[in-house]
Amino acid sequence: MDRRLLPLLVALALPCGKGALAAEWQGSLRGTGRLLVDSNAPRDFTDGAAAGPGSDLALSVLGVAEGRGTGERAQVVGRYELGARKYVDYATEDTLVQAGALEGSLALGTEWGVGAEGHAKDRRGGSRAYSDLGASLFAEYAPDVRLALRLRGGARRFVYRPDHTADFGGLELGALGRYRLTPRHTLSVFGEWGSRRYGPLARPFPGVSASPGRRQDGALVAGVGWAYRGPVKLSLSYAFQEVSSNSFGETVLRHRLIGSAGVRLPWRVTLLAQGTLGLSRYPDGIYLSPEIILVEEDEGQNSLSLRLARPVSARVDLELSWGIWSTRLPRNDLRYTRQVFGVGVTWRDQD
């Protein structure tokens, strides 16, 4: 997951006064341990002539803490995750991850609210270590229980440890809207735009001898989603992403379709499934940094994951999991495929 240890972003405390003293607090803890069989422990790309990537056994542990404090007009919500993965043979892929998110909001009347949010994610170890953090201010409008709108603006900083030419910082703007069609059906639309400024000079385009200056990218994301909450939980979303760069070879267009389902099976077994289909296009005809594809946990453009869980007590679940991730880079025919099988136990404690 993430590389350096990062503290949680500074918390927004509830305002002093009767509203703060009368705040209601809720929290939960969850811990998961899994034994994994990883078919591509080094997460390598291969071509048709190359030998397959190396497989390995790994032990994975994850702890999650969540909390919420609600006052008369204010609310604070926080989440912290700490995870680690230890391989038997590929010790260079051992990782330690911390991730935190914090949000504080204040109601302005019955329909409007304002607040601040922040996130931090840090990965130590492995070949794709990075730190990602950001903070923003937001305004919300919720005239009734069916409609909710949020606008936000803030800053983001990304540090990619193996190659600091991929480090960037910049401003971000975002919008999110949700509309509840019925008690079980919800539609959402979202959009984000970010300005990314890098340290090195931009690579000149063919036929141009001089660099246009420091590399600058514009990142645009827009999408729509649908969710159903009933006997079966379903969700489906589509997102379009465009990263336009003044550096040759760094512009990319992506389409992503993500679906998930959760259903109760006989013998108190729950099945959770998620699938992703992606299509990428590189207008310059090359993609210079294939490792960046694997920075996020989705690990590429196409994936399918299944998880079976069954409670053995009020606080303990047994789990079986399987996932496959794959993608192919254009022009050079490099391929990436990885499967992970897991068996584990989850413990939870909730107020």
- pLDDT per residue as tens digits for the range 281-294: 888 876 555 445 54
- The share of the chain scoring above pLDDT 70, in percent, equals 86
**The pLDDT of residue 18:** 45
**Mean per-residue pLDDT, 211-224:** 94
Count: domains in the chain: 1
Which amino acid is it at 33? G
C-alpha span between 129 and 266 (Å, rounded): 41
C-alpha span between 195 and 197 (Å, rounded): 7
C-alpha span between 120 and 115 (Å, rounded): 17
- pLDDT per residue as tens digits for the range 165-199: 889 999 999 999 999 999 999 999 999 999 999 99
Indicate whether 11 pLDDT > 70: no
**Mean per-residue pLDDT, 313-318:** 94
Burial per residue of 283-308, b for 16 or more beta-carbon CB atoms within 10 angstroms, e otherwise: ebeebeeeebbbbeebbbbbbbbebb
Nearest to 153 by CA among 138, 169, 141: 138
Tokens of 286: 């090359």
Range of the structural domain that residue 88 is part of: 2-350
Q: Which residues neighbour 339 within 8 Å (Cβ) at sequence distance 6 or greater?
A: 38, 39, 40, 322, 323, 324, 325
**Mean per-residue pLDDT, 105-130:** 92
**The pLDDT of residue 241:** 93
**The pLDDT of residue 5:** 32
Question: Average pLDDT of the chain?
Answer: 87
**The pLDDT of residue 136:** 97
CATH number at residue 211: 2.40.160
**Mean per-residue pLDDT, 84-102:** 94
Nearest to 11 by CA among 132, 81, 84, 104: 104
Contact 188, 180 (CB under 8 A): no
Under DSSP, is residue 21 helix (H, G, I), strand (E, B) or coil? Answer: helix
Given the structure tokens 């007590």, which residue do they identify? 313
**The pLDDT of residue 206:** 87
Indicate whether 49 pLDDT > 60: no
C-alpha span between 171 and 156 (Å, rounded): 6
**Mean per-residue pLDDT, 237-263:** 93
- pLDDT per residue as tens digits for the range 122-163: 999 877 789 999 999 999 999 999 999 999 999 999 998 888
**The pLDDT of residue 128:** 79
